[in-house]
């Protein structure tokens, strides 16, 4: 249950929580006197009745109603009259609480964001080649996409994997696959992100085991494992075990890594998939932050000190079509998380209050119609992410509505980031849009909406209970339905879909095709590993995992990471380990929600 010590409130948020609350007022950039503000208020009123009214009489507004992609009302103009607050309270300086203007003092003036292109297909050998290609082309971090069987905790030789091996990402069954995947890649120098959730503990164990066998100290390896079980139950539905044991597994990983792998981001708390499922910007913000609260509370219940693990919680946000709304979302997220960590959880370290985030352009915004338009969409979304202050960025490829990206398409996507970084000038100053009236107004309104959602989730007993009640799932479904209705009514326009539709929809773009031989090769490799390994060692390692699983969480010998790392070194397969967890913790079926 959430602690009732009060979440700071926006000026426009309704007070739904008891206890100490703190107003989040709007921002006034120039410190205008009351007389100045009153004069400005009269001038704005006269302007609306005069110049605006005359203009509208001649040329009526293009739309009856202007709103963001998430359907927030967009005002025609904002002035200091609408922005009343102290600068330091609402914005602060870059790198300082409440981190609205960024988590680093110098942001991109010192170091650009990490260009981390999502990559993975076919066999580990094929993905290793793509990794090396991207690094040669200027990518600065690795991001691994796994195929569907791997995401679900099944091996390539499982009947459930038939036809799916290597199709939507790389197949990884054992430590041997991890050895091939990261061949000739210096794990101590390049950070690696792994997009996997239910079986995340197994894939992280493979990675740590690989570092161990290479003689790389655990405190030298850095990266991120997504490991966000809560958003799976909310949006993506690729889970391994039910919600409560899943939280135990995540907490084990946070506890272990905070001591053994201190440079590793143990959870990438992911709004991306929540947004892709149809959430608004405010819902993405709210449910992501609420998931983060859930992980912090779980760790505190385990007895962990917030300042020991919070600095290695990271976030992952979508960057959708509405340029200013997305920028404001990043700013609101940083401020809200900082205040929560400081005031609700008593964090003392500044690093515990910093919301560090990866971002990815919106896959759901890509269209099969006129696919070259996707290059423009991605460029605008990437620019919004940079202006919003992201620490890491993936840009989607133009062909991803058809297939995994070709080498040419992924190069264009990477070049998009490099052009923004080197040619646009936006990386030369810190938070260039800070103080803009519209940006600060949107930031306040998104934060206020998010706080209202978080209050409701707290009243339900926290995010796990809210998920079990189906609350976030219903809210997202309703938003997705509302947007689809707006699209069908032409209230929202997507170029090539319901506006400026081409006469011919023949894409004529090159596509990446996965050879059917991939599955045969992967099965042969897996069979070879099973034939060579020590069967008794495998049996003993899996039994150790079972024993740890049955021990009460937090008790001696209960942390799952050490025995799973040893199981990885014994070349136990991912499914063999996951089957133990499924057997002990049970499986989960999503309840129908209407």
Write the pLDDT tens digit of every residue in 39-64. 888 998 999 899 889 988 999 998 88
What 3-state DSSP class applies to 263? coil
CA 433 – CA 227 distance, rounded (Å): 33
* Predicted pLDDT at 204: 98
Range of the domain at 381: 106-433
* Predicted pLDDT at 208: 98
Judgement on whether residues 116 and 260 belong to the same structural domain of the protein = yes
Judgement on whether residues 538 and 414 belong to the same structural domain of the protein = no
CA 395 – CA 383 distance, rounded (Å): 10
Q: Which long-range contacts (CB under 8 A, 24 or more apart) does 370-378 make?
A: 370/495, 370/496, 370/502, 370/505, 371/398, 371/399, 371/401, 371/402, 371/507, 371/509, 372/398, 372/509, 373/495, 373/496, 374/398, 374/400, 374/401, 375/412, 375/416, 377/321, 378/413, 378/416
Query: Mean pLDDT across the stretch 203-231?
Result: 97
With respect to residue 72, please indicate whether it lies within any of the assigned structural domains.
Answer: no
The structure tokens 């069954």 sit at 173
Nearest to residue 392, comparing CAs of 356, 355, 420?
356
Q: What's 65's DSSP letter?
A: -
Q: For residue 504, name the pLDDT band (cuts at 50, 70, 90).
A: confident
* Predicted pLDDT at 85: 65
Query: Mean pLDDT across the stretch 514-539?
Result: 95
Task: List Cα–Cα distances, 202 to 144, 174, 249, 379, 566, in angstroms.
Answer: 15, 9, 11, 35, 11
With respect to residue 393, please indicate whether it lies within any of the assigned structural domains.
Answer: yes
| 149 or 236, which is more confident | 149
What 3-state DSSP class applies to 242? coil
Nearest to residue 108, comparing CAs of 360, 387, 443, 394?
387
CA 386 – CA 379 distance, rounded (Å): 11
Q: What is the number of domains present in the chain?
A: 2
* Predicted pLDDT at 88: 83
Note whether 119 and 397 are within 8 A (CB).
no
Q: Is the pLDDT of residue 16 over 70?
A: no
Decide: residue 260, CB within 10 A, 0-12 exposed, 13-18 middle, 19+ buried: middle
Q: Which residues contact 35 (CB under 8 A, 6 or more apart)?
A: none
Judgement on whether residues 402 and 532 belong to the same structural domain of the protein = no
User: Which of these three, 433, 461, 486, is where a domain ends?
Assistant: 433
CA angle 321, 272, 438 (to 5 degrees): 40
Q: Which tens digits make up the pLDDT trace of 269-310?
A: 999 999 999 999 999 999 999 999 999 999 999 999 999 999
Q: Which tens digits make up the pLDDT trace of 17-26?
A: 323 344 444 4
Q: Is the pLDDT of residue 15 over 60?
A: no
- Host H or E run for residue 118: strand 118-119
Judgement on whether residues 530 and 399 belong to the same structural domain of the protein = no
Q: For residue 36, name the pLDDT band (cuts at 50, 70, 90).
A: confident
Q: For residue 550, name the pLDDT band (cuts at 50, 70, 90).
A: very high
Query: Mean pLDDT across the stretch 97-109?
Result: 95
Judgement on whether residues 418 and 559 belong to the same structural domain of the protein = no
Cβ neighbours of 363 (radius 10 Å): 17
* Predicted pLDDT at 265: 96
* Predicted pLDDT at 590: 81
* Predicted pLDDT at 64: 86
CA 3 – CA 5 distance, rounded (Å): 6
Q: What is the DSSP string of 357-384?
A: EEEEE-GGG--SSSTTHHHHHHHHHHHH
Q: Which tens digits make up the pLDDT trace of 315-361?
A: 999 999 999 999 999 999 999 999 999 999 999 999 999 999 999 99
User: Which of these three, 399, 433, 467, is where a domain ends?
Assistant: 433
- Host H or E run for residue 45: helix 34-47
CA 309 – CA 96 distance, rounded (Å): 20
* Predicted pLDDT at 28: 46
Report the half-sphere exposure of 224 (CA within 13 A, side-chain side): 27
| Structure-block tokens of residue 34 | 């009351």
* Predicted pLDDT at 82: 80
* Predicted pLDDT at 31: 59
Mean of per-residue pLDDT scores for the chain: 92
Nearest to residue 426, comparing CAs of 376, 375, 390?
390
Judgement on whether residues 322 and 424 belong to the same structural domain of the protein = yes
Nearest to residue 324, comparing CAs of 222, 435, 433?
433
Q: Which residues contact 69 (CB under 8 A, 6 or more apart)?
A: 281, 320, 321, 322, 325, 492
Q: For residue 571, name the pLDDT band (cuts at 50, 70, 90).
A: very high
Judgement on whether residues 565 and 420 belong to the same structural domain of the protein = no
Please report, rounded to a whole number, the percentage of residues in the chain having pLDDT higher than 70: 93
Nearest to residue 194, comparing CAs of 173, 169, 230, 216?
169
* Predicted pLDDT at 594: 55
With respect to residue 386, please indicate whether it lies within any of the assigned structural domains.
Answer: yes
Q: Which tens digits make up the pLDDT trace of 388-424?
A: 999 999 999 999 999 999 999 999 999 999 999 999 9
User: Which of these three, 433, 449, 466, is where a domain ends?
Assistant: 433
CA 294 – CA 290 distance, rounded (Å): 6
User: Each residue of 62-85: b (16+ CB within 10 Å) or e?
Assistant: eeeeeebbbbbebeeebebbbbeb
With respect to residue 233, please indicate whether it lies within any of the assigned structural domains.
Answer: yes
CA 162 – CA 236 distance, rounded (Å): 21
Q: Is the pLDDT of residue 91 over 70?
A: yes
Q: How many residues are recorded in the chain? A: 594
- Host H or E run for residue 148: helix 148-151
With respect to residue 217, please indicate whether it lies within any of the assigned structural domains.
Answer: yes
Q: What's 62's DSSP letter?
A: S
Q: Which range has the worst mean pLDDT, 33-37, 82-86, 390-394, 553-557?
A: 82-86
With respect to residue 462, please indicate whether it lies within any of the assigned structural domains.
Answer: no
* Predicted pLDDT at 592: 66
Please report, rounded to a whole number, the percentage of residues in the chain having pLDDT higher than 90: 82
* Predicted pLDDT at 442: 96
* Predicted pLDDT at 134: 94
With respect to residue 527, please indicate whether it lies within any of the assigned structural domains.
Answer: yes
Decide: residue 215, CB within 10 A, 0-12 exposed, 13-18 middle, 19+ buried: exposed
Q: For residue 11, name the pLDDT band (cuts at 50, 70, 90).
A: very low
CA 300 – CA 303 distance, rounded (Å): 5
Q: What is the DSSP string of 476-529?
A: HHHHHHHHHHHHHTTSS--BTTTBS--S------------THHHHHHHHHHHHH
Judgement on whether residues 563 and 424 belong to the same structural domain of the protein = no
Report the half-sphere exposure of 181 (CA within 13 A, side-chain side): 31
Q: Is the peptide bond before 71 cis (omega within 30 degrees of 0)?
A: no
* Predicted pLDDT at 145: 95
Decide: residue 20, CB within 10 A, 0-12 exposed, 13-18 middle, 19+ buried: exposed
CATH number at residue 408: 3.20.20.240
SS3 content of the chain, % helix, strand, coil (to 5): 50, 10, 40
With respect to residue 364, please indicate whether it lies within any of the assigned structural domains.
Answer: yes
Note whether 253 and 312 are within 8 A (CB).
no
Q: Is the pLDDT of residue 122 over 50?
A: yes
């Amino acid at each position: 249950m959430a602690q009732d010590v009060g979440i700071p409130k926006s000026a426009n948020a309704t007070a739904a929580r008891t206890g100490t609350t703190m107003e989040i007022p709007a921002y006034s950039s120039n410190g205008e006197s009351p007389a100045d503000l009153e004069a400005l208020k009269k001038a704005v009123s006269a302007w609306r009745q005069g110049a605006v009214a005359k203009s509208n009489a001649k040329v009526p507004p293009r739309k009856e109603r202007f709103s963001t992609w998430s359907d927030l009302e967009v005002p025609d103009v904002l002035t200091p009259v609408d922005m009343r607050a102290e600068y330091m309270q609402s914005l602060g300086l870059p790198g300082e609480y409440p981190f609205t203007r960024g988590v680093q003092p110098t942001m991109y003036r010192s170091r650009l964001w990490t260009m981390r292109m999502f990559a993975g297909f076919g066999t580990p050998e094929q993905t290793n080649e793509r990794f090396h290609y991207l690094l040669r082309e200027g990518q600065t971090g690795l991001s691994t996409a796994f195929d569907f069987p791997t995401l679900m905790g099944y091996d390539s030789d499982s009947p459930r994997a038939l036809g799916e091996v290597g199709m939507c990402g790389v197949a990884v069954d054992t430590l041997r696959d991890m050895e091939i995947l990261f061949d000739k890649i210096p794990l101590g120098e390049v950070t690696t992100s792994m997009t996997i959730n239910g079986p995340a503990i197994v894939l992280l164990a493979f990675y740590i085991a690989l570092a161990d066998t290479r003689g790389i100290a655990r405190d030298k390896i850095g990266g991120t494992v997504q490991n966000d079980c809560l958003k799976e139950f909310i949006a993506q539905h690729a889970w391994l075990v039910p919600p409560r044991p899943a939280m135990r597994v995540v907490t084990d990983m946070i506890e272990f890594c905070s001591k053994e792998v201190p440079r590793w981001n143990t959870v990438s708390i992911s709004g991306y998939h929540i947004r892709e499922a149809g959430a608004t910007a405010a819902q993405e913000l709210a449910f992501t932050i609420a998931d983060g609260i859930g992980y912090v509370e779980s760790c505190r219940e385990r007895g962990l000190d917030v300042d020991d693990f919070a600095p290695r919680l990271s976030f992952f946000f979508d960057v959708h079509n509405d340029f200013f709304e997305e920028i404001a979302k990043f700013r609101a997220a940083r401020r809200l998380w900082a205040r929560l960590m400081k005031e609700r959880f008593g964090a003392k370290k500044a690093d515990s209050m910093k919301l560090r985030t990866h971002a990815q352009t919106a896959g759901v915004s890509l269209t099969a119609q006129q696919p070259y338009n996707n290059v423009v969409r991605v460029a605008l979304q990437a620019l919004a992410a940079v202006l919003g202050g992201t620490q890491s960025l993936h840009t989607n490829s133009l062909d991803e509505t058809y297939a995994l990206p070709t080498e040419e398409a992924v190069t264009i996507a990477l070049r998009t980031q490099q052009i923004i970084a080197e040619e646009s000038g936006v990386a030369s100053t810190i938070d260039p849009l800070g103080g803009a009236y519209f940006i600060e107004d949107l930031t306040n309104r998104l934060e206020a909406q998010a706080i209202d959602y978080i209050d409701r989730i707290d009243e339900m007993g926290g995010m796990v209970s809210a998920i079990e009640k189906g609350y976030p799932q219903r809210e997202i479904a309703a938003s997705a339905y509302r947007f689809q209705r707006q699209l069908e009514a032409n209230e929202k326009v997507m170029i090539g879909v319901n506006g400026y539709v081409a006469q011919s929809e023949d894409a004529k773009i090159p596509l990446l095709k996965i050879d059917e031989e991939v599955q045969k090769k992967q099965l042969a490799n897996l069979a070879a590993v099973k034939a060579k390994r020590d069967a008794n060692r495998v049996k003993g390692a899996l039994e150790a995992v079972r024993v740890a699983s049955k021990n009460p969480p937090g008790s001696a010998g209960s942390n799952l990471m050490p025995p799973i790392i040893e199981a990885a070194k014994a070349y136990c397969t991912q499914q063999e380990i996951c089957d133990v967890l499924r057997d002990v913790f049970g499986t989960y079926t999503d309840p129908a929600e209407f």
